[in-house]
Amino acid sequence: MALNKTAEHGYRTIEFAYLRPEKFNLDRLAKLAQSLDVEIGVTMGLGFANDVSSEDASAVEAGKRTLSDAVHAVRDIGGNKLGGILYSAHTKYNRAPTRKGWDNSVASIAAIGDVAKEANVDLVLEVVNRFETNLLNTTAQGLKFISETGSDHVRLHLDTFHMNIEEANPAAAIRLAGDKIGYFHIGESNRGYLGDGTINFDLIFDALLDINYERDVVFESFSTAVVDEGLSLACAIWRDTWTDNDPLAAHAKRYIELKYEEAKRRRVTSARP
């Protein structure tokens, strides 16, 4: 199963997208993760019916219930973070967000931040590209949003795939966010093998070192061969860049470690007079 494979490849965190508590024996999963020394995170997005950035109060209430349930499911599975598109629906909107919708979302996330703090679960908001939300497309927007929540518990979840689309300068965005980054997805511009796209990961790792980022760096890649159908549809995976996840996982681990090493060496080298 995925958990054993994760540990086998040397990863220390596994992420479940759209955890469905009714489908798993949460107790068993929690015990297995603990015995393998693998931390559990969960990511998800909302739909229009439970969109906390809606102007419709009943949708906002439904969204808050969904998020509160999700926080508790993460706690019950022995996990320690909930990320993703928690502040809006995960879909292509056909209009810009409204002021009232933004305010509804800020108030909802502030409330869920308290629930998460109480449950000892990190709450991290994923900043994603324009085709997957209309609310938080850039790090600067994300920082404004979390500052309006007034919560010291809510942080940002950044992702190189999305930053590559929306940020003027992804590395500058990482430095701007600093300790407000609570979770980090590393993904290629085509969501396939790292290094097979156009993202300059040297600049990304230099920036992560500059801000002393010591939380998770989680590799994210998609193929309909292994990824849940609903999630593949939401992420517009119309073409598989790989089908075998074993060599993919091994390669990503090596790639991340190599890029970290190179970035560290660059610092030492450039510090020499």
Nearest Cα residue to 195 out of 185, 186, 207, 183: 186
Smaller CB distance to Mn ion: residue 115 or 127? 127
Of 219-248, binders to Mn ion (CB under 5 A) are: 220
Smaller CB distance to Mn ion: residue 81 or 185? 185
- Cβ at position 220, least distance to Mn ion in Å: 5
- Cβ at position 192, least distance to Mn ion in Å: 14
261 is annotated as an active-site residue: no
Q: What is the dihedral of CA 177, 181, 187, 191, to 10 degrees?
A: -90
CA distances from 171 to 115, 118, 144, 157, 168 (A): 32, 33, 18, 15, 9
> How far is Cα 190 from Cα 185, in angstroms, rounded to an integer?
14
Member of 15, 51, 122, 159 binding Mn ion (CB under 5 A): 159
- Cβ at position 222, least distance to Mn ion in Å: 10
Nearest Cα residue to 84 out of 113, 33, 123: 123
Q: C-alpha 112: how far from its chain's center?
A: 17
Assess contact for 131 and 165: CB atoms under 8 A: no
90 binds Mn ion (CB under 5 A): no
Of 170-209, binders to Mn ion (CB under 5 A) are: 185
The residue annotated as part of the active site, out of 15, 126, 132, 188, is 126
> How far is Cα 271 from Cα 251, in angstroms, rounded to an integer?
30
Q: Which stretch binds Mn ion (CB under 5 A): 52-60, 93-101, 176-184, 216-224?
A: 216-224
> How far is Cα 71 from Cα 14, in angstroms, rounded to an integer?
16
Q: C-alpha 61: how far from its chain's center?
A: 23
The residue annotated as part of the active site, out of 132, 167, 188, 220, is 220
Q: Which stretch binds Mn ion (CB under 5 A): 4-12, 25-33, 63-71, 159-167?
A: 159-167
220 is annotated as an active-site residue: yes
Q: Which stretch binds Mn ion (CB under 5 A): 5-13, 214-222, 233-241, 262-270?
A: 214-222
Which residues of the chain form contacts with Mn ion (CB under 5 A)? 159, 185, 220
Please list the active-site residues.
Answer: 126, 220
